[in-house]
Amino acid sequence: DSGVTQTPKHLITATGQRVTLRCSPRSGDLSVYWYQQSLDQGLQFLIQYYNGEERAKGNILERFSAQQFPDLHSELNLSSLELGDSALYFCASSVETGGRGELFFGEGSRLTVL
């Protein structure tokens, strides 16, 4: 158990819909990262937050947004969903933002868009 909690574990929805994925980091970790894992794209970095502020941005689509709340949990919002958004979405946390630290991953949220 990494200590990172992601909900929901599975989600099935239709094209055009909007979903919210939730992540609770390990106790004491201030950084939260979101990744998308798919068969064709591999593990893609989406975005990083540190103590409520956006710190790094990767290949995140404009239809996607994220935020980190004062209690440090984070949400990833995916809107106008397309078939290609079907993937496993991971949240990870770390105690620092300096790049040297280990990332602790949750078990992921599997999104299926029909």
Partner 1 sequence: AQSVTQLGSHVSVSEGALVLLRCNYSSSVPPYLFWYVQYPNQGLQLLLKYTSAATLVKGINGFEAEFKKSETSFHLTKPSAHMSDAAEYFCAVSDRTGNTGGFKTIFGAGTRLFVKA
Is 108 an interacting residue with respect to partner 1 (CB under 8 A)? Answer: yes
Which one of residues 11, 22, 38, 55 is an interface residue with partner 1 (CB under 8 A)?
55
**Angstrom distances, CA of residue 64 to CA of 13, 30, 83:** 16, 22, 14
- The one-letter code for the residue type at 5 is T
Single out the segment in contact with partner 1 by CB under 8 A; choices: 11-19, 21-29, 65-73, 106-114: 106-114
Q: Cβ distance 98 to 112 under 8 Å?
A: no
What does the binding site for partner 1 look like in residue numbers (CB under 8 A)? 2, 4, 33, 35, 42-43, 45, 48, 50, 54-58, 90, 92, 97-100, 102-108
